[in-house]
Chains A and B, each alone.
Chain A
Amino acid sequence: MKWSEFFSMGGYALYVWGSYLLTLLAMGAEIVFLLRRRKRCFRATTDSKLNGVIAE
Protein backbone atom coordinates (compact mmCIF):
# COMPACT_ATOMS: atom_id res chain seq x y z
CA MET A 1 0.00 0.00 0.00
CA LYS A 2 1.39 3.42 -0.89
CA TRP A 3 1.99 5.77 2.05
CA SER A 4 -0.29 8.48 0.68
CA GLU A 5 -3.07 5.92 0.36
CA PHE A 6 -2.31 4.69 3.85
CA PHE A 7 -2.56 8.15 5.39
CA SER A 8 -5.69 9.19 3.54
CA MET A 9 -7.51 5.90 4.29
CA GLY A 10 -9.66 6.29 1.17
CA GLY A 11 -10.80 9.74 2.26
CA TYR A 12 -11.81 8.60 5.72
CA ALA A 13 -8.59 9.73 7.38
CA LEU A 14 -10.33 11.95 9.95
CA TYR A 15 -12.55 9.16 11.18
CA VAL A 16 -10.06 6.28 11.15
CA TRP A 17 -7.07 8.14 12.50
CA GLY A 18 -9.27 10.12 14.84
CA SER A 19 -10.55 6.87 16.36
CA TYR A 20 -7.10 5.38 16.82
CA LEU A 21 -5.69 8.63 18.19
CA LEU A 22 -8.46 8.89 20.76
CA THR A 23 -7.94 5.25 21.71
CA LEU A 24 -4.25 5.84 22.17
CA LEU A 25 -4.98 8.90 24.30
CA ALA A 26 -7.47 7.01 26.47
CA MET A 27 -5.19 4.02 27.04
CA GLY A 28 -2.22 6.32 27.55
CA ALA A 29 -4.17 8.38 30.09
CA GLU A 30 -5.14 5.21 31.94
CA ILE A 31 -1.52 4.11 32.16
CA VAL A 32 -0.30 7.56 33.17
CA PHE A 33 -2.93 7.85 35.93
CA LEU A 34 -2.03 4.38 37.10
CA LEU A 35 1.68 5.21 37.30
CA ARG A 36 0.90 8.40 39.21
CA ARG A 37 -1.34 6.49 41.62
CA ARG A 38 1.45 3.98 42.17
CA LYS A 39 3.97 6.69 42.91
CA ARG A 40 1.55 8.42 45.27
CA CYS A 41 0.68 5.37 47.31
CA PHE A 42 4.25 4.16 47.64
CA ARG A 43 5.41 7.65 48.60
CA ALA A 44 2.69 7.74 51.26
CA THR A 45 3.74 4.44 52.76
CA THR A 46 7.48 5.12 52.71
CA ASP A 47 6.94 8.58 54.21
CA SER A 48 5.27 7.05 57.23
CA LYS A 49 8.41 5.18 58.20
CA LEU A 50 7.40 1.89 56.61
CA ASN A 51 10.53 2.01 54.53
CA GLY A 52 11.61 -1.39 53.36
CA VAL A 53 8.63 -3.26 54.80
CA ILE A 54 6.75 -3.35 51.52
CA ALA A 55 8.41 -5.70 49.07
CA GLU A 56 8.47 -4.09 45.66
Chain B
Amino acid sequence: MGNLGGPANIFGIKTVLGLWRLVLGLWALAFEVESCVRVGIHQTWSQDLRPKTQGLKPKTALRIGLQFMTRINWYKYASPAAFYSLAGRMIPWFAVPAAVLFAVGLYLGFFVAPTDAQQGDAYRIIFIHVPAAWMGMMLYVLMAIYAAIGWAFNARLASMMASSLSITGAMFTFISLVTGSLWGKPTWGTWWVWDARLTSTLILLFLYIGFISLQAAIDDTRRADRAGALLAIVGVINVPIIYFSVEWWNTLHQGATIRLLDKPTMAPPMLAALLIMLAACWLYSIAVVLARLRCIIVEREQHVWRMAMVRE
Protein backbone atom coordinates (compact mmCIF):
# COMPACT_ATOMS: atom_id res chain seq x y z
CA MET B 1 0.00 0.00 0.00
CA GLY B 2 2.93 2.29 0.60
CA ASN B 3 3.38 3.42 -2.96
CA LEU B 4 -0.22 4.21 -3.91
CA GLY B 5 -0.19 7.67 -2.39
CA GLY B 6 -2.89 9.99 -1.08
CA PRO B 7 -6.14 8.61 0.30
CA ALA B 8 -5.25 5.02 -0.65
CA ASN B 9 -2.17 5.33 1.51
CA ILE B 10 -4.03 6.59 4.55
CA PHE B 11 -7.29 4.68 4.40
CA GLY B 12 -6.44 1.54 2.49
CA ILE B 13 -7.51 0.64 -1.04
CA LYS B 14 -10.72 -1.16 -0.06
CA THR B 15 -11.98 1.88 1.80
CA VAL B 16 -11.18 4.15 -1.11
CA LEU B 17 -13.01 1.90 -3.55
CA GLY B 18 -15.90 1.65 -1.16
CA LEU B 19 -16.10 5.41 -0.89
CA TRP B 20 -15.98 5.71 -4.67
CA ARG B 21 -18.85 3.26 -5.00
CA LEU B 22 -20.74 5.26 -2.40
CA VAL B 23 -20.23 8.44 -4.39
CA LEU B 24 -21.45 6.74 -7.56
CA GLY B 25 -24.39 5.33 -5.69
CA LEU B 26 -25.33 8.76 -4.41
CA TRP B 27 -25.02 10.07 -7.93
CA ALA B 28 -27.28 7.33 -9.25
CA LEU B 29 -29.74 8.11 -6.50
CA ALA B 30 -29.78 11.80 -7.38
CA PHE B 31 -30.29 10.80 -10.98
CA GLU B 32 -33.22 8.62 -10.02
CA VAL B 33 -34.75 11.42 -7.99
CA GLU B 34 -34.36 13.93 -10.79
CA SER B 35 -35.97 11.74 -13.39
CA CYS B 36 -38.80 10.87 -11.03
CA VAL B 37 -39.46 14.49 -10.28
CA ARG B 38 -39.24 15.58 -13.87
CA VAL B 39 -41.14 12.90 -15.58
CA GLY B 40 -43.57 11.87 -12.92
CA ILE B 41 -43.16 8.83 -10.75
CA HIS B 42 -45.55 6.52 -12.57
CA GLN B 43 -44.11 7.46 -15.97
CA THR B 44 -40.59 6.73 -14.81
CA TRP B 45 -41.55 3.18 -14.09
CA SER B 46 -43.51 2.63 -17.28
CA GLN B 47 -41.36 4.59 -19.76
CA ASP B 48 -37.66 4.62 -19.05
CA LEU B 49 -36.31 7.82 -20.67
CA ARG B 50 -32.94 7.66 -19.01
CA PRO B 51 -29.97 6.87 -21.26
CA LYS B 52 -28.64 3.34 -21.06
CA THR B 53 -25.54 3.46 -18.90
CA GLN B 54 -25.36 -0.27 -18.20
CA GLY B 55 -21.95 -1.73 -18.89
CA LEU B 56 -20.24 1.61 -19.38
CA LYS B 57 -17.19 2.74 -17.43
CA PRO B 58 -18.16 4.83 -14.40
CA LYS B 59 -16.60 7.97 -15.82
CA THR B 60 -18.49 7.63 -19.12
CA ALA B 61 -21.72 6.83 -17.31
CA LEU B 62 -21.22 9.91 -15.16
CA ARG B 63 -20.67 12.12 -18.16
CA ILE B 64 -23.66 10.79 -20.07
CA GLY B 65 -25.79 11.11 -16.97
CA LEU B 66 -24.72 14.70 -16.41
CA GLN B 67 -25.38 15.62 -20.02
CA PHE B 68 -28.84 14.03 -19.83
CA MET B 69 -29.68 15.77 -16.60
CA THR B 70 -28.62 19.19 -17.73
CA ARG B 71 -29.77 18.72 -21.35
CA ILE B 72 -26.50 20.36 -22.43
CA ASN B 73 -24.11 18.66 -24.82
CA TRP B 74 -20.92 19.73 -23.08
CA TYR B 75 -18.76 18.36 -25.85
CA LYS B 76 -20.61 19.88 -28.78
CA TYR B 77 -17.94 22.48 -29.47
CA ALA B 78 -15.10 20.00 -29.13
CA SER B 79 -15.82 19.18 -32.76
CA PRO B 80 -13.81 21.37 -35.16
CA ALA B 81 -16.74 21.68 -37.56
CA ALA B 82 -19.10 22.86 -34.81
CA PHE B 83 -16.64 25.32 -33.31
CA TYR B 84 -15.82 26.71 -36.76
CA SER B 85 -19.16 28.52 -37.07
CA LEU B 86 -19.17 29.63 -33.42
CA ALA B 87 -15.70 31.12 -33.83
CA GLY B 88 -16.86 32.95 -36.95
CA ARG B 89 -19.69 34.58 -35.02
CA MET B 90 -17.38 35.47 -32.11
CA ILE B 91 -14.62 37.23 -34.06
CA PRO B 92 -16.34 40.60 -34.73
CA TRP B 93 -17.32 40.85 -31.05
CA PHE B 94 -13.63 40.86 -30.16
CA ALA B 95 -12.10 42.65 -33.14
CA VAL B 96 -14.25 45.79 -32.97
CA PRO B 97 -13.92 46.40 -29.21
CA ALA B 98 -10.18 45.75 -29.59
CA ALA B 99 -9.85 48.57 -32.11
CA VAL B 100 -11.90 50.89 -29.90
CA LEU B 101 -9.88 50.09 -26.79
CA PHE B 102 -6.59 50.58 -28.63
CA ALA B 103 -7.77 54.05 -29.64
CA VAL B 104 -8.95 54.90 -26.11
CA GLY B 105 -5.83 53.50 -24.46
CA LEU B 106 -3.44 55.33 -26.76
CA TYR B 107 -5.35 58.58 -26.33
CA LEU B 108 -5.18 58.26 -22.55
CA GLY B 109 -1.54 57.29 -22.73
CA PHE B 110 -0.42 60.15 -24.91
CA PHE B 111 -2.77 63.02 -24.06
CA VAL B 112 -4.02 62.44 -20.53
CA ALA B 113 -1.17 60.73 -18.72
CA PRO B 114 1.36 63.28 -17.46
CA THR B 115 5.04 63.38 -18.33
CA ASP B 116 7.19 61.32 -16.01
CA ALA B 117 9.41 63.22 -13.58
CA GLN B 118 12.46 61.00 -14.15
CA GLN B 119 12.11 59.57 -17.65
CA GLY B 120 10.32 62.39 -19.45
CA ASP B 121 8.19 61.21 -22.35
CA ALA B 122 10.29 58.10 -22.99
CA TYR B 123 8.20 56.21 -20.44
CA ARG B 124 5.23 56.22 -22.82
CA ILE B 125 6.65 53.08 -24.41
CA ILE B 126 5.23 51.36 -21.35
CA PHE B 127 1.77 51.36 -22.88
CA ILE B 128 2.82 48.85 -25.48
CA HIS B 129 5.83 47.21 -23.85
CA VAL B 130 4.10 45.95 -20.70
CA PRO B 131 0.89 44.66 -22.33
CA ALA B 132 2.93 42.91 -25.04
CA ALA B 133 5.14 41.26 -22.43
CA TRP B 134 2.13 40.10 -20.42
CA MET B 135 0.43 38.77 -23.55
CA GLY B 136 3.57 36.88 -24.54
CA MET B 137 3.64 35.15 -21.18
CA MET B 138 -0.08 34.51 -20.85
CA LEU B 139 -0.49 33.20 -24.39
CA TYR B 140 2.38 30.77 -23.77
CA VAL B 141 0.64 29.36 -20.69
CA LEU B 142 -2.62 29.08 -22.62
CA MET B 143 -0.80 27.40 -25.48
CA ALA B 144 0.72 24.87 -23.08
CA ILE B 145 -2.67 24.16 -21.49
CA TYR B 146 -4.39 23.61 -24.83
CA ALA B 147 -1.50 21.49 -26.10
CA ALA B 148 -1.67 19.37 -22.95
CA ILE B 149 -5.45 18.91 -23.34
CA GLY B 150 -4.97 18.01 -27.00
CA TRP B 151 -2.37 15.45 -26.09
CA ALA B 152 -4.00 13.95 -22.99
CA PHE B 153 -7.53 13.72 -24.36
CA ASN B 154 -6.61 13.27 -28.02
CA ALA B 155 -8.60 16.43 -28.73
CA ARG B 156 -7.71 17.70 -32.22
CA LEU B 157 -9.32 21.09 -31.76
CA ALA B 158 -7.34 21.84 -28.60
CA SER B 159 -4.09 21.13 -30.45
CA MET B 160 -5.19 23.35 -33.31
CA MET B 161 -5.84 26.11 -30.78
CA ALA B 162 -2.32 25.71 -29.40
CA SER B 163 -0.87 26.03 -32.90
CA SER B 164 -2.95 29.15 -33.50
CA LEU B 165 -1.87 30.74 -30.21
CA SER B 166 1.81 30.19 -30.88
CA ILE B 167 2.12 32.74 -33.68
CA THR B 168 0.35 35.56 -31.85
CA GLY B 169 2.32 34.83 -28.69
CA ALA B 170 5.60 34.93 -30.60
CA MET B 171 4.61 38.23 -32.16
CA PHE B 172 3.87 39.83 -28.78
CA THR B 173 7.07 38.50 -27.23
CA PHE B 174 9.05 39.92 -30.14
CA ILE B 175 7.33 43.30 -29.67
CA SER B 176 8.09 43.30 -25.96
CA LEU B 177 11.78 42.62 -26.61
CA VAL B 178 12.09 45.26 -29.30
CA THR B 179 10.15 47.98 -27.47
CA GLY B 180 12.02 47.13 -24.29
CA SER B 181 15.28 47.57 -26.14
CA LEU B 182 14.15 50.92 -27.52
CA TRP B 183 13.15 51.97 -24.02
CA GLY B 184 16.39 50.74 -22.50
CA LYS B 185 18.67 52.77 -24.76
CA PRO B 186 17.62 56.24 -23.52
CA THR B 187 16.92 55.21 -19.92
CA TRP B 188 19.60 52.60 -19.12
CA GLY B 189 22.07 53.65 -21.78
CA THR B 190 22.14 50.22 -23.44
CA TRP B 191 20.13 48.36 -26.08
CA TRP B 192 20.55 45.04 -24.33
CA VAL B 193 21.84 43.47 -21.15
CA TRP B 194 21.97 39.80 -20.23
CA ASP B 195 20.00 40.17 -17.04
CA ALA B 196 17.49 37.60 -15.79
CA ARG B 197 14.31 39.07 -17.20
CA LEU B 198 15.59 39.98 -20.66
CA THR B 199 17.37 36.65 -21.07
CA SER B 200 14.36 34.59 -19.98
CA THR B 201 12.07 36.58 -22.27
CA LEU B 202 14.44 35.89 -25.15
CA ILE B 203 14.26 32.21 -24.19
CA LEU B 204 10.47 32.49 -24.33
CA LEU B 205 10.77 33.79 -27.90
CA PHE B 206 13.04 30.85 -28.76
CA LEU B 207 10.52 28.46 -27.25
CA TYR B 208 7.74 29.91 -29.38
CA ILE B 209 9.88 29.72 -32.51
CA GLY B 210 10.89 26.17 -31.57
CA PHE B 211 7.25 25.17 -31.13
CA ILE B 212 6.23 26.63 -34.49
CA SER B 213 9.22 25.11 -36.30
CA LEU B 214 8.80 21.70 -34.69
CA GLN B 215 5.15 21.50 -35.70
CA ALA B 216 5.98 22.65 -39.22
CA ALA B 217 8.75 20.03 -39.52
CA ILE B 218 6.63 16.96 -38.75
CA ASP B 219 4.35 15.77 -41.54
CA ASP B 220 1.88 13.70 -39.52
CA THR B 221 -0.34 16.36 -37.93
CA ARG B 222 -1.24 14.44 -34.74
CA ARG B 223 2.40 13.53 -34.15
CA ALA B 224 3.34 17.15 -34.73
CA ASP B 225 0.71 18.20 -32.18
CA ARG B 226 2.07 15.79 -29.58
CA ALA B 227 5.69 16.77 -30.14
CA GLY B 228 4.80 20.45 -29.90
CA ALA B 229 2.80 19.75 -26.75
CA LEU B 230 5.85 18.24 -25.09
CA LEU B 231 7.91 21.30 -25.94
CA ALA B 232 5.18 23.67 -24.78
CA ILE B 233 4.66 21.87 -21.47
CA VAL B 234 8.36 21.61 -20.67
CA GLY B 235 8.86 25.25 -21.60
CA VAL B 236 6.08 26.59 -19.39
CA ILE B 237 8.48 26.60 -16.44
CA ASN B 238 10.07 29.63 -18.10
CA VAL B 239 7.00 31.79 -17.50
CA PRO B 240 7.19 31.91 -13.69
CA ILE B 241 10.94 32.39 -14.09
CA ILE B 242 10.31 35.52 -16.14
CA TYR B 243 7.70 36.72 -13.68
CA PHE B 244 9.81 36.24 -10.54
CA SER B 245 13.17 37.01 -12.12
CA VAL B 246 13.14 40.58 -10.84
CA GLU B 247 12.57 39.30 -7.31
CA TRP B 248 14.99 36.39 -7.35
CA TRP B 249 17.95 38.06 -9.04
CA ASN B 250 19.65 41.40 -9.02
CA THR B 251 18.42 42.71 -12.37
CA LEU B 252 18.74 45.92 -14.32
CA HIS B 253 15.08 45.56 -15.26
CA GLN B 254 12.93 47.21 -12.61
CA GLY B 255 10.80 45.24 -10.17
CA ALA B 256 7.06 44.79 -10.31
CA THR B 257 5.14 48.06 -10.00
CA ILE B 258 1.71 46.49 -10.31
CA ARG B 259 0.64 43.74 -7.95
CA LEU B 260 -2.71 42.03 -7.83
CA LEU B 261 -3.63 42.96 -4.27
CA ASP B 262 -1.48 45.93 -3.27
CA LYS B 263 -2.22 49.56 -3.96
CA PRO B 264 -0.66 50.61 -7.26
CA THR B 265 2.32 52.93 -7.07
CA MET B 266 1.67 54.35 -10.54
CA ALA B 267 -0.29 57.55 -11.23
CA PRO B 268 -3.98 56.73 -11.96
CA PRO B 269 -4.12 57.98 -15.56
CA MET B 270 -1.01 55.94 -16.41
CA LEU B 271 -2.42 52.82 -14.77
CA ALA B 272 -5.76 53.28 -16.51
CA ALA B 273 -4.14 53.62 -19.92
CA LEU B 274 -1.97 50.58 -19.23
CA LEU B 275 -4.90 48.38 -18.23
CA ILE B 276 -6.98 49.54 -21.19
CA MET B 277 -4.12 48.71 -23.55
CA LEU B 278 -3.86 45.29 -21.89
CA ALA B 279 -7.57 44.69 -22.46
CA ALA B 280 -7.16 45.82 -26.07
CA CYS B 281 -4.30 43.36 -26.57
CA TRP B 282 -6.39 40.55 -25.08
CA LEU B 283 -9.34 41.25 -27.37
CA TYR B 284 -7.06 41.57 -30.38
CA SER B 285 -5.38 38.25 -29.50
CA ILE B 286 -8.68 36.43 -29.14
CA ALA B 287 -9.95 37.75 -32.48
CA VAL B 288 -6.74 36.91 -34.35
CA VAL B 289 -6.32 33.49 -32.71
CA LEU B 290 -9.91 32.50 -33.52
CA ALA B 291 -9.54 33.67 -37.12
CA ARG B 292 -6.35 31.65 -37.50
CA LEU B 293 -8.00 28.67 -35.83
CA ARG B 294 -10.69 28.74 -38.49
CA CYS B 295 -8.01 28.63 -41.20
CA ILE B 296 -6.32 25.72 -39.45
CA ILE B 297 -9.63 23.85 -39.18
CA VAL B 298 -10.27 24.24 -42.90
CA GLU B 299 -6.70 23.23 -43.75
CA ARG B 300 -6.76 20.13 -41.57
CA GLU B 301 -10.30 18.92 -41.88
CA GLN B 302 -10.52 19.00 -45.65
CA HIS B 303 -10.81 15.25 -45.81
CA VAL B 304 -14.01 15.48 -43.76
CA TRP B 305 -15.58 17.79 -46.30
CA ARG B 306 -14.27 15.72 -49.17
CA MET B 307 -15.94 12.61 -47.73
CA ALA B 308 -19.16 14.54 -47.33
CA MET B 309 -18.97 15.58 -50.98
CA VAL B 310 -18.24 12.02 -52.12
CA ARG B 311 -21.24 10.65 -50.25
CA GLU B 312 -23.50 13.22 -51.88
Contacts and interface: CB of A to CB of B under 8 A. Distances in A.
B178 A22 contact: yes
Nearest to B180: A19
B32 to A, nearest CB: 42
A10 B288 contact: no
Contacts of A23: 128, 132, 175, 179
A26 B174 contact: yes
Contacts of B179: 19, 22-23
A15 B125 CA distance: 8
Contacts of A26: 171, 174-175
Contact of B298 (A1, A10, A15, A41): A41
B168 interface: yes
Given A1-B111, A30-B167, A38 B128 contact: no
B25 interface: no
B309 interface: yes
B34 interface: no
A38 B129 CA distance: 29
A45 B306 CA distance: 9
Interface string A30-56: 110010011001101100111001111
Contacts of A9: 120-122, 124
A55 B291 contact: no
A18 to B, nearest CB: 5
Given A10-B115, A15-B125, A30-B168, A50 B120 contact: no
Interface residues of A, number: 31
A45 B132 contact: no
Interface stretch (B58-66, B148-156, B182-190, B225-233): B182-190
B284 interface: yes
A15 B183 contact: yes
A27 B284 contact: yes
A50 B85 contact: no
A54 B295 CA distance: 12
B122 A50 contact: no
A55 B82 CA distance: 11
A12 B291 contact: no
B302 interface: yes
A16 B292 contact: no
Contacts of A15: 122, 125, 182-183, 185-186
A6 B110 CA distance: 8
A6 B112 CA distance: 12
B299 interface: yes
B189 to A, nearest CB: 12
Contacts of B284: 27
A11 B186 CA distance: 10
B237 interface: no
A44 B298 CA distance: 10
A37 B292 contact: yes
Contacts of A41: 295, 298-299
A38 B88 CA distance: 13
B302 A45 contact: yes
Interface in B48-72: none
Given A30-B167, A37-B292, 6 more contacts: A10-B115, A19-B129, A22-B178, A26-B175, A44-B299, A50-B306
Interface of B: 85, 88, 110-111, 115, 120-122, 124-125, 128-129, 132, 167-168, 171, 174-175, 178-179, 182-183, 185-186, 284, 288, 291-292, 294-295, 298-299, 302, 305-306, 308-309
